[in-house]
Structure 1
């Protein structure tokens, strides 16, 4: 069964993350917040594509749904301080 921890591990193994949190406990539907320098200069679609690439076949075979919010470190800091 897929776990939030296993998804987090797969993402971190491929994508350098400043901060990451994956949640979900039904084995199929997950949500994630991912902060990475690799997102710099990329559109939201481009950022999400990097995450999908990091997960590879797991997205097609094991993970039914993954909603995510992606940020560069600068965007993350701005979002955290504006709340």
Structure 2
């Protein structure tokens, strides 16, 4: 069964409570999403490690309930 946007958002918000999170359903099928996550949790981490943190937040659902997830991770802009 596909993962809903609400469920995906809940997993990400739980793991990154300070984050600005935007999710797009790329195919309209609940299986292919793009998530943009802006969080201080990514400060000083290489992009690969940032993405590993996101996958860990999904608690093993990646590849099962969630087929594809395009990630854009970043830290908040200074002063903003």
TM-score (norm 1): 0.81
The SS at the match of 1:33 is strand
Q: Which has the higher helix share?
A: 1
TM-score (norm 2): 0.84
Q: How many residues align?
A: 76
User: Cα RMSD (Å) of the superposition?
Assistant: 1.5
Deviation at 1:6, TM superposition (A): 1.1
The SS at the match of 1:74 is coil
Q: Matches of 1:29 and 1:4 in 2, distance apart?
A: 10
Provide structure 1 residue ranges, at least 5 long, that are not aligned to the other structure: 78-83
Q: Where in structure 1 do 4 or more consecutive aligned residues deviate above 4 Å?
A: none
